[in-house]
């Protein structure tokens, strides 16, 4: 695997390559990332990964400074798997050589709801850096995990609306045996919090099962899920049942007609904010 830090070196490596499959990451790689690389390998050649902790997508009180930066370990993991041909690991000066005055602002309907309501600049930061990375790597396909469900939808919408010739592939969420979705932020959890954390996925399954058991008022189901998190010491931001196609609230008729749904949640456990989601139909 070639490790390059400059856009020029990246372009030298990729000259003439028309089937690049790309996996953007912020590093601190775990099994889920490696699985994204394997999916990329099935859909293109060569595979390019990037590692860049993108300041623009962190809020002022978020964990940008303490976000784990583990480049040497990450390189060893990628070399062990042998799926990646080039790792692009630019520093901030390379990717943001001047103040970033041009920014991609996802529209309100997708960008300002759910995660966007609690992390106002998050999708602006993600969209801006993903567009930059796409412009550097020029991939034919790019792989994103479904754990960041709304991010995946924002990136897909951006590609559609800017006519980017990149196919976005979604990888299923990778979970530990007890159901906890793999995330770099899981490393912030204490032992007691780690034992509690799988409750979040269990709760999503309960919401799905409630809606499958018969018509129920969505607002009541969502409020009940929030209360059960609070009762166990979590601080939930939202538990929301939405249509998969646009993340808007489904009507009761749509639910009963088998509209593809997703229940999404974000909740803080101690100092760690976890997100998760579950796709389902109620009938």
- As measured in angstroms, the least distance from the Cβ of 150 to ligand PAF is 11
Decide if 269 contacts 234 (C-beta within 8 A): yes
Nearer to ligand PAF, 74 or 148 (CB): 148
Decide if 240 contacts 114 (C-beta within 8 A): yes
Nearer to ligand PAF, 26 or 87 (CB): 26
| From 19-27, 94-102, 254-262, 274-282, span contacting ligand PAF (CB under 6 A) | 19-27
Q: Considering only residues 39-98, where is the footprint of ligand PAF by CB under 6 A?
A: 54, 57
| From 20-28, 61-69, 175-183, 229-237, span contacting ligand PAF (CB under 6 A) | 20-28
Exactly one of 30, 33, 43, 171 is catalytic; name it: 33
- As measured in angstroms, the least distance from the Cβ of 145 to ligand PAF is 7
Q: Considering only residues 151-190, where is the footprint of ligand PAF by CB under 6 A?
A: 151
From the list 31, 43, 46, 10, the residue with the least C-alpha distance to 78 is 31
CA separation for the pair 154, 49 (Å, rounded): 20
CA separation for the pair 43, 83 (Å, rounded): 12
CA separation for the pair 196, 180 (Å, rounded): 10
The β-bridge partners of 145 are 171
User: In the chain, which ranges are continuous DSSP H helix?
Assistant: 7-14, 31-43, 71-81, 92-95, 108-111, 115-118, 122-137, 149-161, 191-196, 199-213, 218-231, 252-256
Run of H or E residues at 177: none
Q: Considering only residues 122-141, where is the footprint of ligand PAF by CB under 6 A?
A: 126, 129-130
CA separation for the pair 274, 267 (Å, rounded): 6
- For the question of residue 33 being annotated catalytic, the response is yes
| From 4-12, 22-30, 60-68, 83-91, span contacting ligand PAF (CB under 6 A) | 22-30
- As measured in angstroms, the least distance from the Cβ of 15 to ligand PAF is 24
How many residues of this chain bind ligand PAF (CB under 6 A)? 10
From 4, 10, 14, 26, residue interacting with ligand PAF (rule: CB under 6 A): 26
Residues tagged active-site = 33
List of residues contacting ligand PAF (CB under 6 A): 24-26, 54, 57, 126, 129-130, 148, 151
């Amino acid at each position: 695997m070639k490790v390059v830090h400059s856009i020029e070196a990246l372009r030298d490596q990729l000259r003439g390559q028309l089937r690049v499959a790309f996996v953007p990451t912020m590093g601190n790689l775990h099994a889920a990332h490696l699985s994204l690389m394997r999916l990329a390998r099935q859909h293109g050649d060569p595979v390019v990964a990037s590692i860049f902790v993108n300041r623009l997508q962190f809020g002022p009180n978020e964990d940008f400074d303490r976000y784990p930066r583990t480049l040497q370990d990450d390189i060893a993991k990628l070399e062990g798997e042998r799926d990646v041909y080039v790792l692009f690991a630019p520093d901030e000066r390379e990717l943001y050589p001047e103040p970033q005055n041009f920014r991609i602002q996802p529209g309100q309907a997708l960008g300002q709801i759910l995660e966007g309501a609690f992390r106002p600049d998050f999708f602006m930061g993600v969209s801006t850096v993903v567009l930059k990375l796409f412009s550097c790597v020029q991939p034919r396909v790019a792989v994103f995990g479904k754990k960041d469900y709304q991010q995946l939808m924002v990136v897909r919408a951006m590609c559609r609306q800017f006519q980017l010739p990149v196919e976005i592939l979604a990888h299923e969420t990778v979970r530990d045996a007890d159901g906890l979705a793999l995330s770099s932020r899981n490393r912030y959890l204490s032992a007691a919090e780690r034992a509690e954390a799988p409750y979040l996925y269990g709760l999503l399954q309960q919401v799905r099962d409630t809606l499958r058991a018969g018509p129920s008022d969505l607002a009541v189901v969502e409020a009940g899920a929030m209360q059960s998190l609070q009762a166990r010491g979590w601080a939930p931001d939202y538990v929301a049942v939405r249509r998969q196609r646009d993340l808007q609230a489904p009507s009761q008729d749509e639910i009963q007609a088998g509209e593809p749904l997703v229940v999404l949640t974000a909740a803080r456990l101690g100092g760690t904010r976890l997100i998760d989601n579950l796709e389902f139909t109620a009938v």
